[in-house]
Amino acid sequence: MWACRLTQRTDFSYEGFRWQPDDCEMPDFDRFAFMKRMEGKTIAFVGDSLGRQQFQSLMCMVTGGEETPEVEDVGREYGLIIAKGNIRPDGWAFRFPPTNTTILYYWSSSLCDLQPLNASDPKTEVAMHLDRPPAFLSRFLDRFNVLILNTGHHWNRGKINANRWVMYINGQPNQDRRLAAVGNAKNFTVHSIARWIDSQLPSHPRLKAFFRTISPRHFANGEWNTGGSCDNMTPLSKGSTVSKDESSDIVVESAVQGTRVKILDITALSELRDEGHIARFSVKATEGIQDCLHWCLPGIPDTWNEVLCAQI
């Protein structure tokens, strides 16, 4: 669904650019060398649909885009099966037998622990524990060697109401009026999970943890549901350099400060790449829909993974 070469789009010049960090020779991505270094290891992406895109990007990078029949679907080992009434599992996990490397993704758009208040009622409200990590992380952290977290775009009142999420703190419904503001709740959660991961690192010495900064949106003249669009197809029309040292995502930057969690800072470099979104194109050629949030693949998320692999 992200393969823009399968859509009506005809200009793919966005594929031809590479990020060059300051004072650093970022090596070309070599899938064989990377998989050798990841021998016997598990890479886990936990986050929203942009985290899923980064996972899908890495899957394409390590396979070279080729059919790889020996790859095993090991989702069941992580409870990633299609639950009754759902159209997809909560994530995917694949193992590459030649190097015994596992790459997985788990859907957690808020990075909170979500617990139905009445498991027998399909329309129940859901406790959104702002101060608890997703249960999936608590359960499987000891199996991970590289962890990449992200959140951001589901922190709005519309999403929270549609999901019937109710904010909880210390196991009780939130009574703090300041935290009732969605932006404050997001900041609290990002700091909370960064501290929790940091607290786990001494007992998980093989784990490298990264918090990816937010992926920018490029809607102009409206939102996704009010006629917003991203029609620019010219690469680097916003420039080609990032001149500031601090992150454009001050929430994640401040959350990891003083911890052993590394920042994977992709916001400012992606801000320059508005031509790389799905935009008005789609595999189904749906009229009138613009996606200025998700990215074409191959595309900008490949750059995020090149930076990640260099940092690893």
204-241 residue pLDDT tens: 999 999 999 999 999 988 877 777 899 999 999 989 99
What's the pTM? 0.96
279 phi/psi in degrees, rounded to 5 = 55, -130
Give strand pairing partners of 104.
44, 93
Rounded Cα gap, residues 184 and 190, in angstroms: 10
Helix axes 300-311, 49-63, angle to 10 degrees: 80
Structure tokens at 93: 């996990």
Calculate ∠ Cα 180-106-217, nearest 5°. 60
- Closest by CA position to 186, among listed 124, 137, 254, 261: 254
Give strand pairing partners of 264.
212
pLDDT given for residue 265 in this prediction: 97
pLDDT given for residue 156 in this prediction: 93
Pairing of strands 146-149, 165-169: unpaired
Give strand pairing partners of 220.
229
Query: Which residue numbers in the chain have pLDDT < 70?
Result: 285-286, 288
Domain count, the chain: 1
pLDDT given for residue 72 in this prediction: 98
Q: Domain of residue 32: give its range.
A: 4-270+277-310
pLDDT given for residue 312 in this prediction: 94
pLDDT given for residue 285 in this prediction: 65
pLDDT given for residue 10 in this prediction: 94
**What residues contact 11, with CB distance under 8 A and at least 6 apart?**
233
CA dihedral 259→112→252→201, nearest 10 degrees, is: 20
CA dihedral 5→54→253→204, nearest 10 degrees, is: -170
